[in-house]
Amino acid sequence: MSSLDGSKKGITRRTFIKSAAIGVAGVAAIGSLTGCNSSSTNESSSTAAAKEEPLEEQTWSFETPPDPIPDDKIKEVLDADVVVVGAGVAGITAALSAAEEGAKVIVIEKMRKVSPLGFWVGVVNSRLQKSKGLTLDPEQLTWEMKHAALHYADERLIRMWAYKSGQVMDWILDVLEAEGIPVTVEEHWEKKQDTPRPGLYYTMYPTAHVAGEGDIWQHGVDVILTPLQKKAEEKGAKFLFSTPAVQLVKDEGGNITGVIAKQKDENYIRLNSKAVILATGGYEGNQQMRYKYLPGLGKFLDNTEIMGRQTNTGDGHLMALWVGADMDPLPHATMFFDSNLAFSLHIGAWVLSRQPWLNVNASGERYQNEDAPYGYTCRADLYQPGKFKWSVFDSKWPEEAPNMGGTVCERIYPNSPIPPFGDVNTCKEGLEKALEKGVAVTADTIQGLAEKMKVPVDTFVKTVERYNELAKSGEDVDFGKDKYKLTTIEKAPFYAIKVSPNLLVTLSGVRVNTNLEVLNKEGKPIPGLYATGNVSGGFFGFEYPVHITGVSLGRSFTQGYFAAKNAAARALKKT
């Protein structure tokens, strides 16, 4: 397989199956893992590199369809109107939405239980938002999303979220209210401050909704999914867990007519249907797909722990590709977070490191405005030596951090309408843990801190002196950070937490239209095949816009709802 620098990088069968298992049948059927087939293995690496095709045109082994599962391997056949592949946010939403239309629904899930990831559901103009006086402008949100995607997205899909997500949240609220589950909506944090201090380079939007009571860990999206699944089952939807999908079934006319899956007993099952909805999540756990679709990040991600689900191996992407689907153009969008080191130790260390303190690289130099949303700052970190940074602050941090504000994952101010990940006490615990493990360092002098950070002492001392000058002047003429986030580093002891970027999820996928039908390479729908959530494309570009809180889950709920309506209409011949 081609590495990102043009040389040849071999991936063994063991490595491939361990790091990029793409489904039971898919792995078994791929056979020889030849990687890209753009040059002969007998050629020198330099000659091969010169002759390689553009990355987007290369054929990778995972793109080769496996042999069809023969009929004699099928031990059970089930019939449905709609089959949903994946029981996450988009999948469970789709199951209930289709069942409400009277469709017979079967959901298959590779995991043994529902295991969603996330907390905040970002929508526009739900009835709860309106009751709080939080009426948002869908046009403004559409523009913000397009801008965040560098216009590398399908505006029609963004508009679906901007104009219809509130309707879907109202539908969810009906279910939650019937179960007595409270829902809280985000209110702009600046309303909680004595003096409004808007961000300089980005605007926060009160889009987020969370369900449940207690601390943030009691507000996971599973609090929403559990009653949705319950209601779907009450309406006849059947859920099959530990049942990974391995192939789509297509008839001679090109229609998708079902799915083949593998059960716990290693037997295959065929689910016949009139429509299939892919809701399988991203491919962050698939090494080969990361190499192809995330150019420039493959080698880095090989040497870091993926924060997201290792079981998200692009199963839906691959099954769709094998029946002729088109994929989003390169490079694919990601949810890249600054969480590799501190997060694995303690949530408080992670939250504390995310505050917009002074950031320096391995050379002891400041290199960016630290107040940009963390999805963007960690992209800048990738350009630094060693691809990491130090977040530097002093012993005044317990008084300063609650005033920093920022995006919803990093706030630690008190009296937040939505519980934060950590308060000052949580951050103190996290800092102690990080110090114990060597992820954080402390010293009574700036010189001593530099030595423990292993950065050039003279350079670091000058960097801190300059930063203190800017903080005292109240104007960051070097990088333009808001003045109230400029805090001096003068009171010992001094601290630094080491931070490196990390991949949470991938956000690009197979191309879809506004009916959420999967498109082939000619831009035409593949009859009977739908995709929603992170397996679908066209919505995000480049990096996740974390300042539009919860838009990832909001997109998945919205698309899951409407994909199911369209799939059910096809299955029940309502269109």
The three-class DSSP label of residue 485 is helix
Runs of H (alpha helix) within 323-414: 342-345, 347-354, 374-381, 397-400
- Whether 279 and 560 have beta carbons less than 8 Å apart is answered as yes
The three-class DSSP label of residue 274 is coil
Residue 40: per-residue pLDDT: 31
Pick from 282, 250, 313: nearest CA to 25: 313
Query: Residue 182: CB partners within 8 Å, gap ≥ 6?
Result: 176, 211, 212, 213
Distances (CA, A) of 289 to 120, 207, 230, 282, 285: 28, 32, 35, 10, 9
Pick from 378, 370, 402: nearest CA to 202: 370
What is the residue extent of each domain of the chain?
339-500
Distances (CA, A) of 178 to 5, 130, 181, 244: 56, 20, 8, 33
The total number of residues written for the chain in this structure: 575
Topology given in CATH for the domain delimited by 339-500: Flavocytochrome C3; Chain A, domain 1 (3.90.700)
For residue 20, the one-letter residue type is A
Give every strand in the sheet of 245-250, ordered side by side: 74-79, 268-272, 256-262, 245-250
- Whether 247 and 74 have beta carbons less than 8 Å apart is answered as no
Residue 35: per-residue pLDDT: 36
Residue 340: per-residue pLDDT: 59
Residue 416: per-residue pLDDT: 67
Residue 216: per-residue pLDDT: 72
Residue 201: per-residue pLDDT: 63
In a structure prediction context, what are the per-residue pLDDT tens digits for the chain, which is 575 residues long? Answer: 333 222 333 323 233 223 333 333 443 333 222 334 333 333 333 334 434 666 667 778 899 999 999 998 999 999 999 999 999 999 999 999 999 999 999 999 999 999 888 889 999 999 999 999 999 999 999 999 999 999 999 999 999 999 999 999 999 999 999 999 999 998 765 444 433 445 456 788 889 999 998 777 778 899 999 999 999 999 999 999 999 999 999 999 999 999 999 988 888 999 999 999 999 999 999 999 999 999 878 777 776 667 777 889 999 999 999 999 999 999 999 998 876 566 666 788 888 998 999 999 999 999 999 988 877 888 889 889 988 999 999 999 999 998 887 777 777 766 666 667 778 888 999 999 999 999 999 999 999 999 999 999 999 999 999 999 999 999 999 999 888 889 999 999 999 999 988 888 999 999 999 999 999 999 999 999 999 999 999 999 988 998 899 999 999 999 999 999 999 999 999 75
* pTM (2 d.p.): 0.87
The three-class DSSP label of residue 519 is strand
**Using CA atoms, how far apart are residues 535 and 312, in angstroms rounded to an integer?**
10
Residue 56: per-residue pLDDT: 62
Q: Classify strands 105-108 and 82-85 as parallel, antiparallel or unpaired.
A: parallel
Q: Quote the tokens at residue 502.
A: 């990390």
